Amino acid sequence: MRNSYRIFISLLLLCLLSLQTFSQVSKRDQRRFRRAKALYVQWKYDDAEKILSPLCKKYQHEASIWNFTSEVQMLNYYQKSQKDDISFLDRPLSSSATVQERQRDSLSRIFIAKLDAVRPSHYYLNHCINTWRTATLKCPDAEVPSMLLRIFMLDPVSIDSSQNSAAIREFRAGEQSFKKQNYADAISHYHQALVYDTSYYRAGLYLGDAYYSKHDYLFASACFKEAVRRKPRLQEPRKYLVDALFQMEAYDDAKRETIDALLLYPEVSLFQKLEEVVKAQNGHFDRHWTERVVFPNTMGDQPLNEKGDRDWMEYINGFSLIEKYCDKDGIIVNKNELTQSRYAEVFAWEYMLQKTAPDKFPFARKMQQAGYLDCYVLLSQYHIDFNAQYQHFAANNKERLKAYLELLMTL
């Protein structure tokens, strides 16, 4: 999960506020939501989810319900994975092990890996991911689903620890102090852990957390900058850095860091942070998100049962035309006369705009005329299903994306 205790505090606050942010939820369903919340507090996550799932379908634009449901699912997944956990063979073989012993050990690892793939928690995680994918399809403020998709599907798997026992001991002591909200003591322990092991990334990141919680934002930002330097592909230290800079009222720096983080992964919370930063500078930002009826990059069965189905059928038709020119990720690799774009997602939108009425998707048409349709489609309308296309586009069009975001601040 998140590399900090602060994520659980943030999610808890989100749950506590969720009842206050309902827009059009009936009183009867609000009582159901409160019942789910009571079950959540009792760790009865399956029962809570049974209540929440129908509410998600009924109120597809209600961020509070999606966010709380996603948190319940995340904790439920960890609970299930602990119940059906299988002990992996982590012990290294001695250098004197025979060939037969090494072969037997290798086969055992393969067998256990296959067992792991069919564990109940594995199937449940797939269910969760599909829920989170749907949430980000239907709701522009599905902050928690967007974050969990990144963590479970995109973040590199790495166990950051230290080989220095003294550093580990100090780090754990810092954790205990942090949980007791004794931030000064936590800072001392994290500092000492870094004295024993200067490369201990997590100790440095948590040191920044402790400074942040102590409202020492200058030192916190310094720690987070170092964390970004050490792990430039991770989103969390970038988000923390934005928070610290915002608290320091260093809005230009906060805006720059937010944009850099968006180029890495367009997480919903980052669009929200950018809106806050620009507002603090007396400006305005709107990504002009449009609800989707269908999942990206697909031609099969789709939930085409809403107003606007015919429009999104043209999107599907467009994808079916371009798919044969693409690689498995939807990046166009073969010559064609359909589009000059490199991305199936962009062409599907081009085709949909061409085939639908001029009053449909007005902002997309505006961006097409301005020469920024690809930026709008891949960034403002980002969905994890075409992440490979976005990553390819962002790597080759950083300045155009930055110019596009600046444009959104002027409209």
**pLDDT digit string, tens, across residues 67-88:** 999 999 999 998 888 776 543 3
Is there a shared CATH topology between the 6-84+119-154 domain and the 165-280 domain? yes
State the Cα–Cα distance between residues 21 and 39, nearest whole angstrom: 20
Q: Which of 15-29, 41-55, 141-155, 266-280 has the lowest mean pLDDT?
A: 15-29
193 pLDDT exceeds 80?
yes
Helices (H) and strands (E) in the chain, counts: 20, 0
**In residues, how long is the chain?**
411
Band (20; pLDDT cuts 50, 70, 90): very low
d(CA 76, CA 92): 32
- Residues 269 and 287: their CA atoms lie apart, in Å, by 12
Place 121 in a pLDDT band, splitting at 50, 70 and 90: confident
Res 388 pLDDT > 90: yes
Q: Does the pLDDT of residue 98 top 50, yes or no?
A: no
Does residue 393 have a pLDDT over 70?
yes
Write down the pLDDT at residue 123. 87
HEC states along 128-163? Answer: HHHHHHHHHHHCCCCHHHHHHHHHHHHCCCCCCCCC
Which residues 6+ apart lie within 8 Å of 279 measured at CB?
285
Alpha carbon separation from 311 to 73, 320, 346, 363, 365 (Å, rounded): 33, 15, 15, 15, 14
Tell me if residue 387 falls in helix, strand or coil.
helix
Residue ranges per structural domain of the chain: 6-84+119-154, 165-280, 309-408
Yes or no: domain 6-84+119-154 corresponds to CATH 1.25.40: yes
The answer for residues whose C-beta is within 8 angstroms of residue 5's C-beta and 6 or more apart is: 175, 178, 179, 206, 209
Neighbours of 14 (CB within 10 A): 18
pLDDT of 317 > 80? The answer is yes
Question: Which of 21-30, 99-108, 141-150 reaches the highest mean pLDDT?
Answer: 141-150
Neighbours of 208 (CB within 10 A): 27
- Helix 309-322 × helix 344-355 angle, to 10°: 130
Average pLDDT over residues 145-164: 84
Does 226 score more than 90 pLDDT? Answer: yes
Q: Which two tokens stand for residue 29?
A: 């369903």
Q: Which of these ranges, 168-172, 291-295, 358-362, has the smallest mean pLDDT?
A: 291-295
Q: How far apart are CA 75 and CA 87, in angstroms?
A: 21
Query: Which 3 state secondary structure label does DSSP give 44?
Result: coil
Reading phi first (left if > 0) and then psi (alpha if -120 to 50, else beta), residue 145 is in alpha
Band (162; pLDDT cuts 50, 70, 90):
confident
* Residue that wins the pLDDT comparison between 368 and 5: 368
Which comes out higher in pLDDT, residue 161 or 267? 267
- Residue by residue, DSSP assigns 302-346 as ----STTHHHHHHHHHHHHHHGGGB-TTSBB-S--SS-S-SBHHH
Cα separations (Å) of 29 from 38, 58, 340? 14, 10, 49
Look up tokens 């319900």; give the residue: 65
DSSP string, 370-398: HT-HHHIIIIIT--GGGHHHHHHHHHH-H
Higher-pLDDT residue of 175, 95: 175
Question: Does 1.25.40.10 match the CATH number of domain 165-280?
Answer: yes
Q: Is the pLDDT of residue 208 over 60?
A: yes
User: What pLDDT, on a 0 to 100 scale, did the predictor assign at position 155?
Assistant: 86
Q: How far apart, in whole angstroms, are the C-alpha atoms of residue 411 and residue 407?
A: 7
pLDDT score of 89: 35
Let me know if 200 is exposed, middle or buried by CB neighbors in 10 A (0-12, 13-18, 19+). buried
Of 370, 382, 323, 373, the C-alpha closest to 346 is: 373
Residue-wise pLDDT tens digits, 279-299: 999 999 999 999 998 999 876
The yes-or-no verdict on residue 195 having pLDDT over 80 is yes
Confidence of residue 122 (pLDDT cuts 50, 70, 90): confident
Q: What's the pLDDT at 16? A: 45
Task: Give SS3 for 273.
Answer: helix
Average predicted confidence (pLDDT) for the chain? 86
For residue 331, what are the β-bridge partners?
343
Q: What is the DSSP string of 190-246?
A: HHHHHHH-TT-HHHHHHHHHHHHHTT-HHHHHHHHHHHHHH-TT-SHHHHHHHHHHH
C-alpha dihedral sign at 148, 128, 288, 367: positive
